[in-house]
Amino acid sequence: MEEYKLIADHLTYSYGKGSGRERKALDDVSFVLRKGEFVGLIGHTGSGKSTLVQQLNALLKPDSGTVFFEGADIFEKDYDRKALRGKVGLVFQYPEHQLFEETVFAEVCYGPKNIGMDRKATELAAYAAIKRVGLEDEVFDQPPFDLSGGQKRRVAIASVLAMKPEILILDEPAAGLDPAGRMDLLSMIRELKEKEGITILMVSHSMEDVAEMADRLMVMDRGKLVFDDSPAKVFSHVEELEEMGLAAPEMTYILRDLKAAGFDVDPSLITLKDARDTILRCMTGEKA
């Protein structure tokens, strides 16, 4: 049987309760995360993605519904939420804005120290995490504020990784980076899953970022979870996605057009390599 790591059970949440400007940010959202999965969470800005992920590690209490981590209700009164936050690591959007320590190393030690690792374990975990995110040895003793934007973000991600989470949640990790930095960061995240076996939930508003990496895509629209399926299946709903202000990856459009023009292609391909091969095949002129 598959192992459910995390279950979100009918989560509902509104901001601004009792102020006359109440707005529903989450409306009856349910899903599961299985061990070792890589799931992409997609939705346009304001669809409730960040609100949702803050409930998964008990930073925000839902109005109704709850979250189970390894079978236990995390909103129970005596549940150890601090320990939970070490196991369900959440990297916020623009995490570089939370850096405060004097050196990169101290910054990354903050998390593991907080959740009660001893000194030695903390330092080992911090060292491994900094290497893991691909930072060089020179940065260890530098103030985090002196680093470039992409490097700062790696430090912030390392500071969560150092707690050795079993699930890693990343809220728009590539937002605001240049294309090269973006590619680097995404491939680093992919490695986390492949080499370390961490369960990953990655939030994004761009299909391209998650299409190839994710085993499964969840799509949110105005607080509701509308799709929860394999990428190929989700991309087949191009019209609905467009109505939500999203788009399928470029290649899906090309493949669809080729099919419409009478070529024998499968528009549900999701890796760039397959798409390229198909397009090349069409260009060499085999019509169905």
Partner 1 sequence: MIRDITLGQYYAADSVIHRLDPRTKLVGTLAYLIALFIFNNPYVFALAAFFLITLILLSHVPFRFILKGLKPILFLLLFTVIINMLFVKGTPLFSIWKITVTEEGVKQAVSMGGRLILLILGSNLMTLTTTPTRLTAGMEHLMRPLKLIGVPVHEIAMMMSIALRFIPILMEETDRIMKAQLARGADFESGNLFKKIRSFVPVLVPLFVSAFRRANDLAMAMEARCYHGGKGRTQYRPLRYTRRDAVAYLILILYLAAVFAAGKWLSELATPWFKEMIGYAGSVSVSMSEVY
Ligand X SMILES: Nc1ncnc2c1ncn2[C@@H]1O[C@H](COP(=O)(O)OP(=O)(O)O)[C@@H](O)[C@H]1O
Interface residue with partner 1, options 4, 31, 110, 140 (CB under 8 A): 110
199 binds partner 1 (CB under 8 A): no
Nearer to ligand X, 176 or 262 (CB): 176
State the nearest-atom distance from the C-beta of 233 to Mg ion, in Å: 25
Residue ranges of alpha helices (H) inside the chain are 49-56, 81-87, 104-114, 119-132, 149-161, 179-196, 207-211, 231-235, 238-243, 250-260, 272-283
Under rule CB under 8 A, which residues in 160-189 are in contact with partner 1?
A: 160, 163
State the nearest-atom distance from the C-beta of 93 to Mg ion, in Å: 5
d(CA 14, CA 27): 9
Interface residue with partner 1, options 40, 43, 48, 95 (CB under 8 A): 95
48 binds partner 1 (CB under 8 A): no
Comparing CA positions, the residue from 240, 234, 237, 179 lying closest to residue 211 is: 234
State the nearest-atom distance from the C-beta of 130 to ligand X, in Å: 28
Identify what 51 binds: partner 1, Mg ion, ligand X, none; CB under 5 to 8 Å per kind: ligand X
State the nearest-atom distance from the C-beta of 24 to ligand X, in Å: 8
Sheet containing 64-69: order of strands: 23-34, 4-15, 64-69, 72-73
> Long-range contacts of range 54-60, CB-CB < 8 Å, 24 or more positions apart?
54/90, 55/8, 55/11, 55/13, 55/26, 56/6, 56/8, 56/88, 56/90, 56/167, 56/169, 56/201, 57/81, 57/84, 57/85, 57/88, 57/89, 57/90, 57/169, 58/84, 58/85, 59/85, 59/90, 60/13
Interface residue with partner 1, options 30, 64, 98, 148 (CB under 8 A): 98
| Chain contacts with ligand X (rule: CB under 6 A) | 15-16, 23, 25, 43, 45-51
Under rule CB under 5 A, which residues in 26-65 are in contact with Mg ion?
A: 50
Residue 58: how many CA atoms within 13 Å on its side-chain side? 21
Residue 251 structure tokens: 């290649």
State the nearest-atom distance from the C-beta of 86 to partner 1, in Å: 6
Site stretch for partner 1 (CB under 8 A), options 34-42, 51-59, 123-131, 226-234:
51-59
State the nearest-atom distance from the C-beta of 49 to Mg ion, in Å: 5
Nearer to partner 1, 20 or 71 (CB): 20
Residue 9 structure tokens: 């059970």
Binding site residues, partner 1, CB under 8 A: 20, 54, 57, 59-60, 82, 85-86, 89-92, 95, 97-100, 110-115, 145, 159-160, 163
